[in-house]
Structure 1
């Protein structure tokens, strides 16, 4: 899928979200317990993207420290590999979400 196709799909997703009139469903609190925090797909994705960003920032700091002689090679390489794996996983999740969206949009009514 090319860049324009991805942008088109994302804009369609945003338009559908803007048109949605369904209220957010909150679970009923159980007597004697605190009300649970609301969480959803958007919150999970936001946390995942922040986690990937944090790993990339840690890897960049480790590389800078290594270049300045303050870090060791093994730690730097480990952080860089962790960052790369996290990024590839995030891209794969995005690709599958876009594919699922396309499957739903192509379903006959």
Structure 2
């Protein structure tokens, strides 16, 4: 199972590197710029700048990857007979990584569905 997960993560990274030139949340040259609508933008607030969507998404995917790597390391340590890696810790780590991965897949599916809904809206 970890080979399949590693494969998916490498595919995501490959697509990210192919997207290349554009930086995270930078709009495409033909994108609508909401800041151009009014002088302050829509709900613009200079003092409240947080991480962008792509940064938040990358952090979430990195956390899932770390959880999966940790679970894999614990599993390997248990299989090798390491006394510090007891079965309960291994099973909990595996379940945490599984839940995190499934949640990430659900978020991806909902984002794709939202994108498809927006693209199918009549003009």
Give the distance between the partners of 1:37 and 1:102, measured in 2 at CA. 29
* Aligned-residue RMSD, C-alpha: 2.6
How much has 1:67 moved relative to structure 2? 0.8
Gaps in structure 1 of 5+ consecutive residues: 1-9, 30-35
Higher RCO structure, 1 or 2 (CA under 8 Å, sep 6+): 1
Give the distance between the partners of 1:27 and 1:74, measured in 2 at CA. 48
Aligned counterpart, 2:55: 43
Secondary structure of the residue aligned to 1:18 is coil
Aligned counterpart, 2:46: 28
More displaced 10-residue stretch of structure 1: 17-26 or 80-89: 17-26
1:18 equivalenced with 2:36 (yes/no): no
Aligned counterpart, 1:73: 87
Aligned counterpart, 1:60: 72
Bigger helix fraction:
1
Aligned counterpart, 1:94: 108
What TM-score results when the alignment is normalised by the length of structure 1?
Answer: 0.71
How much has 1:18 moved relative to structure 2? 3.2
Aligned counterpart, 1:3: none
What TM-score results when the alignment is normalised by the length of structure 2?
Answer: 0.63
Secondary structure of the residue aligned to 2:117 is helix
Alignment coverage as a number of residue pairs: 90
Give the distance between the partners of 2:122 and 2:113, measured in 1 at CA. 16
Aligned counterpart, 1:106: 120
